Amino acid sequence: MRDQDPADPEANPFHRVTDHWEAVVEDVHATARKYRAEEWTAVAVHPGDVTVLTGEPRTAAELTGGFDPGPRRVGFDVVVPGDEFERLRDALADRTVGKCRVFGAGGSGVVYRVAVVETADRDVAALVPLYYDRTDLEDLLAVADEHGLATHVRPLQDDQVVTIEHADVDPFVPDDDGA
């Protein structure tokens, strides 16, 4: 992961993310409506933050060996409001994922994806919008190569998580035109 100063507007992708984020959210809602029209239960979440986790230590205690957090999550870390997390968790509880469709776009150096997780019994679709800075692609591919790719959806408190494993990293990788 890049070493950056979050106060530096050039290093902080927030302004670049928000430029296109509204269109991504509109697409999520349109896709959810299509699933509902086909009598699926569609659960869409609205991330407040999405981060590519690489498993690298982040605290001084971890770096010096004073704290061992155990196995780390790697892949996408998606923070959503607590009520949305509960709906997603409940909708996917005791269900098998059948497939994951991924839709994408790009812009301003940011890669946008919407992962649509369909249950095997074809009655629940969970829609999770994602984004990452294109400069994080190398880290994302390294994580996927070593551990596989997963999306971890959680509430802010970080005491629960819904993990969605992706069989294929390719849909999350932008093509040559950035999408």
pLDDT band at 56 (very low <50, low <70, confident <90, very high): confident
Q: Is residue 125 part of a domain?
A: yes
Question: Structural domain of residue 143, as residue ranges?
Answer: 14-55+73-172
Q: Is residue 63 part of a domain?
A: no
Number of domains in the chain: 1
pLDDT band at 7 (very low <50, low <70, confident <90, very high): low
Q: Is residue 61 part of a domain?
A: no
Q: Region 33-48: what's the mean pLDDT?
A: 96
Instruction: Give the residue, 55 or 63, on which the prediction is more confident.
Output: 55
What are 123-162's pLDDT values in tens digits? 999 999 999 999 999 999 999 999 899 999 999 987 899 9
Question: In DSSP terms, which residues pair with 76 in a beta bridge?
Answer: 52, 151
Q: Is residue 177 part of a domain?
A: no
Taking 70 as the threshold, does the pLDDT of residue 6 lie above it? no
Taking 70 as the threshold, does the pLDDT of residue 116 lie above it? yes
